Amino acid sequence: MRSGVIAQKVGMTRIFTDAGEHIPVTVLRLDNCQVVGQRTAEKNGYTAVQLGAGRTKVKRLTRAERGGFAVANVELKRKVAEFRVSPENMIDVGAEITADHFVEGQYVDVSGTSIGKGFAGGMKRHGFGGLRASHGVSINHRSVGSTGQCQDPGKVFKGKKMAGHMGDVSVTTQNLRVVKTDAERGLIMIRGAVPGAKGGWVLLRDAVKRVLPDGAPKPGAFRKATGDEKPAKEAKPEAGEAPAAETQSAETAEGGDKA
């Protein structure tokens, strides 16, 4: 079991094949998707990797979240998610997963939050056919009709399909094919539509109902941390040590006196 990725939905477009066939695709972008934590069987009872993607401000995070990013020595992340992995596919903290983590032609499962539709009637929400267009129906053509029985049981059962809030729920679409990947720009192109609006975050995993291709990298395709990343919290200067800006000013002033 490999790790998934956190991607941001850019939009939809199409790709032309050599035979002239056009394929509708959804473009997903990996925005600095890094490993920010690990879950081990000895400490947590299961094995998983915690990923973070995007960038955010310090004021939008709690103190505990800022402390976790500081321990991992990574930038503050906007979106965080966990992915269960097998022990041999664990990835080091700080590694950045690239788009070639998935290979062309393989199938993936995409999870996201669907677009909210607000309050919707039974026909739009559940696909009801509505009442008759004539023959005694008066201004109730789009109503749901009967919702229960008479005195016995004298109530509407829970879970009855009726009008209500539509959309804005977690949705998973399975068995979507990866058409193309661009590791340099961090783009993954998926055939068809994926849940969510433009700019929304989605979770991309290997399809559970398909066999993983032989060319898929294990434990994954990633760039190891080089140590040049900006930490989540800058270290304060020790006692008696002047900040970098003041030291530079002092050197400039000394050079001016010598001149």
Residue 18 neighbours by CB under 8 Å, 6+ apart? none
Q: What is the pLDDT of residue 106?
A: 93
Neighbours of 181 (CB within 10 A): 20
Among candidate residues 13, 48, 88, 43, the one with its CA nearest the CA of residue 203: 48
In this structure, are residues 50 and 39 in contact, taking their beta carbons and an 8 Å threshold? yes
Q: How far is CA 105 from CA 12, 101, 202, 210, 212, in A?
A: 18, 13, 20, 12, 10
Three-state DSSP class for residue 1: coil
Among candidate residues 225, 207, 196, the one with its CA nearest the CA of residue 33: 225
pLDDT along the chain (259 residues), means of 10: 92 91 94 90 91 90 89 89 91 89 93 95 94 88 90 92 95 94 92 93 93 87 66 47 44 45
Q: What is the pLDDT of residue 68?
A: 87
Q: What is the pLDDT of residue 172?
A: 95
Q: What is the pLDDT of residue 226?
A: 64
Q: What is the CATH number of domain 5-116+169-258?
A: 2.40.30.10
Q: What is the pLDDT of residue 115?
A: 95
Which residue stretches of 134-183 are H helix?
none
Q: How far is CA 47 from CA 72, 77, 196, in A?
A: 17, 22, 29
Q: What is the pLDDT of residue 252?
A: 42
In this structure, are residues 55 and 75 in contact, taking their beta carbons and an 8 Å threshold? yes
In this structure, are residues 79 and 201 in contact, taking their beta carbons and an 8 Å threshold? yes
Indicate the helix (H) or strand (E) that contains 66: helix 63-72
Predicted TM-score (pTM) of the model is 0.76
In this structure, are residues 77 and 69 in contact, taking their beta carbons and an 8 Å threshold? yes
Residue-range domain boundaries for the chain: 5-116+169-258, 117-166
Q: What is the pLDDT of residue 112?
A: 94
Which tokens hold the place of 194? Answer: 């994926």
Q: What is the pLDDT of residue 227?
A: 55
